[in-house]
Structure 1
Amino acid sequence: MWSPVTRITVEYDAVNEEGTFSCGDELSGRVLLLLSKDAKIKDLWVKATGQALVHWSEGSGDDQRTYSAREKYFKLKQQVAGPEKGKKVVLAAGSHVFPFTFQIPQGNMPSSFKGAHGKVEYKLEAKLSRSWRIPSKSVSMFNFVSKPEMSMAQLMSPQCDMVRKDFFLSGNVSMNATMTRMGYMQGERLKVTVEIDNSSSHKLVPKFSVSQKQSFSAGGSRTSQKEVVLKEAGKPIASRTWQTLTQELSIPQDLPVSVLNCTILRVEYKLRVFLDVPCARSPKIKFPLVVFPAESLRGLMPPSDVPQPWWAVGNGDKNQEPSQPAAGPLALHAAPGQSPAGAAAPHAGPPSALWPCLSPPPPYSTLSRLPPQSHPAAPPPYSALDQTHPGTPPLYPTLGQLPAQATPGANTVGNSPRGRVEEASH
């Protein structure tokens, strides 16, 4: 028999420009039903669900094994049409609209994702049931983004690492790398600063890549898939040279976000910095990278093009004037316990651009406050010379040892040991 249901559609209203939803958002929409003739229905339900699914197979033939798992997050149901007080529902031919409203529950739920062997999906499903008929269904997926479960301090913390490699009979190379922070949004520019000391006979090419790792778990087994999603190369570094360079990598706007809060599915990223060495193993540095939806942290993270991020300096406004500007050239010599004349008060400026996670060196103005004894090159005072050889007269007499009325031509022999001997002989 020909079905009177011409079309059934479920749709929802967006709550932001990106068309995404998060925990606590209101999910409102409607079911659109088009009938070609009058129809008697049993009920009409709308369901909102969130879940993660994984599925893959290993082996072949008789040795093939299949693994699958499911993780449910929420399930909400609402009846929008059905019998009332035992009366049957008959819908007339034409268009019908049935509104509905859900509220997404709170919880630590991963963002929407679709990978090689699994997915995290959030969907709306409308189901029209009629007696002795196959139900009519309609499904509409909606994009869910989770709030970051890591603290802002972790996401904003800079990452620093170094590596050194010795080559047989051809010198060595050392590399220091710094990434300004761990967390980035889709579409942002990732900035890496690298310091390379090429003390070898090789010409080295610095290279940068972002790799994605998808991991799936089910039935005590695990499988993964890796893929390089972004790569760049810098200018070659000649042998016996030292160079500092900064490389920017643009994270694609459509790059899947990190999934770190699902027990059966994970999506992780790593930034890899390495030197391409011919005929040798390349020295490399790896940093963890967390990618968030562009709308989840909008307005909360500093822009990538700030040379010195606000969280590394401790100053939220990069255009703010220093609280104590320098009043003149810095004097390096001053009496202990006093500030140099014309010098500004000591100010802890921003750390090095290459090593933002290290403390800056002390200002030169503090060197003048050290006691003279702390300088190895400072000679001992004259008053201490008479104590180097006990029993010998002092090399430089003090003012208290001179006669009170010492004048030119006066006889001072009596004050010496020799004068006292001569007087005793008389």
Structure 2
Amino acid sequence: MPDTALRCFDITFENNMDVFQAGQIVKGQVQIELSEDMKMRMVEAGIQVVMKGEASCKWLDSVSKNETVTFVSREIYFQNAQILWAPSQEKTNYNPVLPAGKHTFPFQYQLPGSGLPTSFETTFGRVRYSAEAIIDQPRGTPDKKFKRIFTVLDTYDLNQDPNATTPSIAKGSKTLGMLMFTSDPIEVNVQTDRGAYCPGEVIRLGGTINNGSGTDIRHTTVQLIQTATCIATGQRWGAGNETRTKTESKTLNEVKTMAGCKAKGTADLSAAGIALPIPAVPPSVRRYCGIVGVEYTVKFIVNIPGLHKNLEVYLPITIGVIPLRSYYPTAPSFPSAPVEEPPQYAEGPPPPYYAVATPSKIEKDQEDKGTDCMGPKEFAPKYAYYDWHGKQP
């Protein structure tokens, strides 16, 4: 059958909901429209949907002058195949066919009740969940496949983190000049207002700058840094297996402030009102996944004029999904359907909604290599986001 006969092949989720938590039921349907009958292979699974959750890492590294090794790793959290239509249901002279026309095949799958890490995409690894529909064609004809990726969110509760209310503290110093002509040090003591936050909240900074140099410091910069860590194993020629770690850091948000300090002076950073908003990002815990991890750091930069290198300090923080009760006394109710605009509220903090993270191109899974697997070419995970609109204390 020519591909033009397959007019529609798609997977849709009930209520367009594509964000789930452990233990929830994923409901959807496979939609097929044919302009003519489609021949099927004489097997039990003519049309099936495969639900899969996995983490994987892959990259190439040079391990010697003449050897490059592929480092790979994989964790499977679930894999379940459901038969939606069997050839035995439609036979014409023992040649199974799916008749021309529109067909809808509903499916549902309950996710495991625990042990599912949050969806995440990075250059060298990923945590990914998908529903893949497969039409089993006769021998010699490639199967038709359609894959739709969805988000699973590990609702990490900051109230279970004993260090959530403890500020992150960093100190640093720097002298200007060289050898005998160095200045008195520029010293910075900076801290966050607490140690853990949720997307949509604001990180507030305090502390002091003591400027012992003769150079005015006019401003500072604050950045939110996300660091992804991937772990994989490669086999070296004649040397056995070797495990390596790959990290990738990127700046998610940046605020340039007028918090400076005159030469030979002292500045109070708390009075500057430094605030760094947190965008929609996954939680920073590595629980449930042994090969892909995500961590966050606040980078505070004292911008020194001229040819001098800036003074930089780093403050590690935790990002979760359920906010601290001191800021959100009532447990949040997550939406059962996607919303494009933040929910309206009268008093107190808002309930979360699902905000889209940066889309990334979808690389084919190993089992899809060499096949024409249909579906979106990009995927953007969605994470819980609290639209505080300045109401956060």
The verdict on a shared fold, with TM-score over 0.5 as the criterion, is yes
Whether the aligned pair in 2 keeps the contact of 1:111 and 1:259 (CA below 8 Å) is no
| Inter-partner Cα distance in structure 2 for 1:207 and 1:231 | 7
Q: Read off the aligned partner of 1:270 and give its amino acid letter.
A: T
More strand by share: 2
Aligned mate of 1:75, from 54, 63, 79: 79
Q: Does 1:57 align with 2:60?
A: yes
- 2:11 alignment counterpart: 10
- Aligned 1:117-266 pairs, distance under 5 A: 117-132=124-139, 133-148=141-156, 151-154=159-162, 156-161=164-169, 163=171, 165=173, 167=175, 170-204=183-217, 205-219=219-233, 220-235=243-258, 236-245=260-269, 246-253=273-280, 255=281, 257-258=283-284, 260-261=286-287, 262-266=289-293
Structure 2 gaps of 5+ residues are: 176-180, 234-242, 329-346, 349-393
Q: How many residues align?
A: 299
Whether the aligned pair in 1 keeps the contact of 2:257 and 2:274 (CA below 8 Å) is yes
Q: Does 1:297 align with 2:327?
A: no
Q: 1:77 to 1:207 in 2, by over 3 A?
A: same
| Inter-partner Cα distance in structure 1 for 2:163 and 2:121 | 24
TM-score, normalisation: structure 1: 0.62
Q: 1:164 to 1:123 in 2, by over 3 A?
A: closer
- 1:27 alignment counterpart: 26
| Residue-by-residue CA offset, 1:189-245 (whole Å, 9 max, x unaligned) | 221122233344332343322222222211111222223333333322112333223
Q: CA deviation at 1:301?
A: 7.0
- Which structure is larger by alpha-carbon Rg, 1 or 2? 1
Q: Secondary structure at the match of 1:228?
A: strand
| Inter-partner Cα distance in structure 1 for 2:57 and 2:170 | 38
Q: Secondary structure at the match of 2:274?
A: strand
Q: CA deviation at 1:80?
A: 1.0
Higher RCO (C-alpha 8 Å, min separation 6): 2
| Inter-partner Cα distance in structure 2 for 1:289 and 1:166 | 24
| Residue-by-residue CA offset, 1:31-57 (whole Å, 9 max, x unaligned) | 111122233434111111011111111
| Inter-partner Cα distance in structure 2 for 1:139 and 1:248 | 41
Q: CA RMSD in A?
A: 3.2
Q: 1:50 to 1:166 in 2, by over 3 A?
A: closer
- Aligned 1:31-42 pairs, distance under 5 A: 31-42=30-41
**Identity %, equivalent residues:** 23
Q: Read off the aligned partner of 1:297 and give its amino acid letter.
A: I
Q: 1:140 to 1:202 in 2, by over 3 A?
A: same
- 2:342 alignment counterpart: none
Whether the aligned pair in 1 keeps the contact of 2:197 and 2:323 (CA below 8 Å) is no
- 2:112 alignment counterpart: 105
| Inter-partner Cα distance in structure 2 for 1:38 and 1:69 | 42
Whether the aligned pair in 2 keeps the contact of 1:159 and 1:287 (CA below 8 Å) is no
| Inter-partner Cα distance in structure 2 for 1:226 and 1:67 | 19
Q: 1:126 to 1:171 in 2, by over 3 A?
A: same
Structure 1 gaps of 5+ residues are: 304-316, 319-426
Q: Read off the aligned partner of 2:246 and give its amino acid letter.
A: T
| Inter-partner Cα distance in structure 1 for 2:282 and 2:309 | 31
More helix by share: 1
Whether the aligned pair in 1 keeps the contact of 2:164 and 2:195 (CA below 8 Å) is yes
Q: 1:93 to 1:300 in 2, by over 3 A?
A: farther
| Inter-partner Cα distance in structure 1 for 2:274 and 2:100 | 64
